[in-house]
Amino acid sequence: MEPIQLAVIAAIFVVAVLYSSVGHGGASGYLAVMAFWAVAPEVTRPTALVLNLFVASIATWQFWRSGHFSWRLFWPFAVTSIPFAFIGGMIKLPTHVYKIVLGLVLLFAAFRLAWSFAQEVPEVRRPAIWMALLIGAGIGLLSGLVGVGGGIFLTPVLLLMNWSETKTAAGVSALFIFVNSAAGLAGNYAQVSILPASSVAWITAAIAGGALGSLLGAKKFRSLMLRRVLAAVLLMAAVKLIFV
């Protein structure tokens, strides 16, 4: 196996560990890794969503098993995000537009990873149904367009609005990512057939990393310094996409 392939596999493993530790599938990280190697957008989007499915399913199980999940909080966001992620997956943006949109998403993801949210919120409040429906629709559409599961957006919304404590936000985001990734792939199913042969090795690395990261995250793992290193990588990938 070529050194570049080994580097990509190692990077995907690390991304999966760090993202799954906070209940995320890691799509923005996988997209950043592929951006460094100039992988075509028609390949990056479905590949990231496939990797998301495996990692998010593992994270969902780990956080649910540990008692960090709320159906009541999950469903209002998911019920609109799923159809809109499907619609977003059907839309093929021009390459230059896609790179700019993806670059902006990676910038936000870098901020999200670098920011340290409080472990407990002052007082958890339930979101208004109409607001959750609107937010879910917007996140779903953007997720399908770019090739992410949307957890990188949902988690900070839940925490900043005091709608959830940290662990429950991670558990809700994990299943949210899974359903949006599946919907985005369904809308973009034609491109799944062109996944690179190396994707099998990437999936294996993502599964291993997701299992380790979600197990640690559901317990008491604190990975702020490592996540800030990853945030710097995402920042460089974003700059490359937007300006190069």
Q: How far apart are CA 55 and CA 155, in angstroms?
A: 16
How large is the average pLDDT for residues 128-153? 93
Return the higher-pLDDT residue of 47 and 219.
Answer: 47
Q: How far apart are CA 187 and CA 234, in angstroms?
A: 26
pLDDT digit string, tens, across residues 168-184: 888 999 999 999 999 99
What is the Cα gyration radius of the chain?
Answer: 16
pLDDT beyond 80 at 141: yes
Give 8's pLDDT tier (boundaries 50, 70, 90).
confident
Return the higher-pLDDT residue of 133 and 161.
Answer: 133
Q: Name the average pLDDT for the chain.
A: 85
Least reliable range by pLDDT among 2-11, 181-190, 220-229: 220-229
pLDDT digit string, tens, across residues 88-132: 999 988 888 888 998 898 888 888 777 765 555 567 888 999 999
pLDDT in the model for residue 118: 55
CB distance 185 to 148 below 8 Å: no
Least reliable range by pLDDT among 27-36, 62-71, 185-194, 226-235: 226-235
First to last CA, the chain: 29
How large is the average pLDDT for residues 82-89? 95
pLDDT digit string, tens, across residues 16-36: 988 887 778 888 889 888 887
Alpha-carbon distances, residue 216 vs 88, 111, 205, 209, 223 (angstroms) = 32, 22, 17, 11, 10
pLDDT in the model for residue 133: 97
pLDDT in the model for residue 244: 60
Residue ranges covered by each domain of the chain: 3-243
CB distance 153 to 141 below 8 Å: no
pLDDT in the model for residue 70: 94
Chain position carrying tokens 């670059």? 103
**Of 30-44, 146-160, 229-243, where does the model show the most confidence?**
146-160
pLDDT beyond 90 at 159: no
Give 197's pLDDT tier (boundaries 50, 70, 90).
confident
Write down the pTM of the prediction: 0.85
